A and B are shown apart, each in its own frame.
Chain A
Amino acid sequence: MIKKFLTLFFVLFISLFLLLFYGCKKAESGRISQGIEKVKLTDEMPKGNLEIYSWWAGDEGPALESLISLYKSKYPDVTVINATVTGGSGVNAKAVLKTRMLGGDVPDSFQVHAGQELIGTWVAAERMLDLTPLYQSEKWMDVFPKDLIKLLGTKDGIWSVPVNIHRSNVMWYIPDNLKKWNIEVPKTIDNFFKAAEALKAKNIIPLALGENWTVNHLWESVALGVLGADKYDKLWRGELSWTGSDVVKVWETFGKVLSYTNKDSASLSWQQATDLVVNGKAAFNIMGDWASGYMSTTLKLKPGVDYNWAPSFGNSGVFMFLADSFGYPKGAKNPAAIIEWLKICGSKEGQDAFNPLKGSISSRKDSELSKYNDYAKSASKDFQSNRIVGSLTHGVVANEGFMNDFSTVMELFLKSMDPIKAANACQAIAIQNGMAK
């Protein structure tokens, strides 16, 4: 009797919570609209809270602070909540953001790498607002380079406002050290191997490397160097086979480059890898130009004098870019404040306050170059004259599924050092993530 009662009871209760589930789903889909929706501009004076979600803490914190204080001086009625989750390249922040978005706790605006990382995840999920009206009213269509806008948008709209441009394929070094060691900056991959042999003989690490994502970062420079810009672009458009001899050669060369890096790389952060170069234990480091911000702002070194830079070996004349951007997620609570925030992100004033501290350059064509240090001036010049390609590790050319699986392939390669296996695995993940047939 008791057992029967209990069984009945459980059956009832299971059907009850299934209903509950169904109800929750319905409720959520009612709150956030589906499909493409354009942003609505308002003239309302912003007030209330504005939560800005990013991974800019620590060394990159001051740059974000400058943007926020500019906002506060314009709109003192708004309380800005600076929500940061640390972790280079946003590894932790992105995961936390997903749980927040799925849980309905949508931040007012969040940092996201422009390009496929935003499009493949949030635009495909129909959770962003189309910012085209904002672009038109602020006349951004003319001030941002056309190639950039193309990468920020899809055929349905433009999805975020870029605050900066970073360069991924930069090789950093200390000129005095190179002079001491009698080494010239290598322009081609073969030159690098020659220089690396000489450095190894002197017991100096030729190329400083950090934790896992910096290995992927190095890979994209090597891939660009081996393939050249045209084939590199084709690779991401799915027009160049991952199993072809070109890509196998990339993996072979990459394996050789890795043999010239420090053995303890997996336990170093990117800053610690840069430190190796700064304190003379290593000769070169390939890292994005946030390393310039780190060296000039945190370590107080003088660009062009205390440290210097060149495009990664084999990358001359090509600018591999990535951009941080802010978007407007559906379901955010304070429209007027968000729109003003996005306006500041895209404004000349905002970008010229933010970028000199961040070590990046403005994504606008009309930025005030006098405010920038020597590195940024040279980067801006390159940005306007060079061939532009997108970065893999920082979300421009591939969606998050591919990026994550690529890290796995990289681990397999680091363990097996087998170029053909790695190329085959890449083909498989490209198919799985809808980037090749």
Chain B
Amino acid sequence: MKIKKDYIISIVVILPSVILLGIFVYGFILNTVFVSLTDWGKGAGLKINPVINFVGFANYSDLFTSIIWQRFRQDMVNAVFYWLFILSGSLILGFFLAVLLDRYPRGESFFRTLFLYPFALSFIVTGTIWRWLFAPNGGFNVLPTLIKLPRIEFLWMSSRTSILNFNWQDIPLIITVFISLILFFVILRLIILKKNEIKLIIYSILFIIFFISFFIELFFAPPMINLKEMHGFNLASIGIIIAAVWQYSGYTMALYLAGLRGLPVSLYEAAKIDGASDMKFYLKIAIPNLWPITLSAIIIISHISLKIFALIFAMAGTDNAGTSHPSVLMYLTTFRANNFAFGASIAVLLLILSSLFTIPYLIYLYKQRTK
């Protein structure tokens, strides 16, 4: 009887948030998925009752293959680079700052606040400040002239140069090669360790499949798109990356600092007695021990790299394709071009991208808890 009463109370207590979440998060996700599978009134998408035809996955296949959506593909490439650089930048810089503060320098609490402060700003504020700093005729570019050096001519936000260019056509090939290589090394390891023969057989079969499909793609597969389409890392996005790293390295610093302070002193002392240098202690002992912190930092920063819309909007504007991101394109497609169906498709793809980070994390957390 007692259990039942508790049970009812708990249901009643969580009911409001479940309903609100259900409508405003999951309900709208479902609605967006539905919109992405239709043509939503085509030109007249703003009608009260638009003419809706179900088109299946045509919008998605257009996004990845049609000539009109080249910008989407460049934006996806941009998103990967944003993720890579913002994540590694904030983690490395944050850890470095945390190590510095962990040594209790003079004014430690002052610097801790100083480094953490940017995190308290909104992206719009950060973006506005950094836009001024990166203006082609002011800020950073004229800084060297203060010490009589020639000024920098780099166009931070508007550069159209890109490096690491590759043909969009080659992406399946690149992915196949990448997976084959990973499988190859896994098999090698299994052979050397001489264990688990069933696994070895499974991996070998997978490897052969990927290896064959590599040749099929190379010689027989029809081209995905009929023009050569180069995408790469746009130098214009460096400015945005710097601003984002500036803002979030303080946050990772705080996480790491808490972690470092949480390590038992005996660990440090034991390492010292065994003759480890400070460098060796941080690299070989602190980093592995802080793995849970790194993991949650990865999840959070990865998410932020997907939510970078506001920073781009404030720093470079929406029309600057060099610094663009799928979320910016989603905004333009939906609210400027009235193309709700394609906007929804891009939004769904972004959702899938972000769930790539969260779902494994949730599973990991769940497993830890049940252990």
Binding site for B on A (CB under 8 A): 2, 9-10, 13-14, 17-18, 20-21, 28-29, 32, 34, 91, 94-95, 98-99, 101-102, 120-122, 124-127, 211-213, 263-267, 399-401, 403-405, 407-408, 411-412, 414-415, 421, 424-425, 428-429, 432-434
Contact = CB atoms under 8 A, between A and B. Distances in A.
B265 to A, nearest CB: 45
A21 to B, nearest CB: 7
Contact of B158 (A10, A265, A428): A265
A95 B43 contact: no
B128 interface: no
B31 interface: yes
Interface stretch (B254-262, B328-336, B353-361): B328-336
B337 A401 contact: yes
Contacts of A213: 319
Interface string B155-167: 1111010100000
Contact of A424 (B42, B67, B71, B332): B67
Contact of B46 (A14, A102, A267): A102
A127 B46 contact: yes
Contacts of A401: 43, 337-339
B47 interface: yes
B336 A95 contact: yes
A211 B333 CA distance: 20
A195 B62 CA distance: 45
Given A17-B27, A28-B48, A408 B321 contact: yes
Query: What secondary structure prevails in chain A residues at the interface with B?
Result: helix
B160 A414 contact: yes
Contacts of B169: none
A211 B317 CA distance: 9
Interface stretch (B15-23, B171-179, B185-193, B297-305): B15-23
A220 B283 CA distance: 59
B277 interface: no
Nearest to B46: A125
Contacts, number: 130
Contact of A421 (B18, B43, B137, B227): B227
Interface of B: 7, 11, 18-19, 22-23, 26-27, 31, 42-50, 66-68, 70-71, 135-137, 155-158, 160, 162, 227, 317-322, 331-333, 335-339
Nearest to B134: A267
A121 B338 contact: yes
B41 to A, nearest CB: 8
Contacts of A404: 332-333, 336-337, 339
Contacts of B46: 98, 101-102, 121-122, 124-125, 127
Nearest to B336: A404
Residue of B22, B66, B338 with highest tally of chain A CB at under 10 A: B338
Nearest first, the 4 A-B pairs at minimum CB distance are A266-B158, A411-B321, A212-B319, A404-B337
26 contacts: A14-B22, A14-B27, A34-B48, A91-B318, A91-B336, A94-B336, A98-B335, A124-B46, A125-B48, A126-B47, A211-B319, A212-B317, A212-B320, A264-B155, A267-B157, A400-B336, A403-B336, A403-B337, A407-B319, A408-B68, A412-B70, A414-B160, A415-B162, A428-B67, A428-B68, A434-B42
Nearest to A429: B68
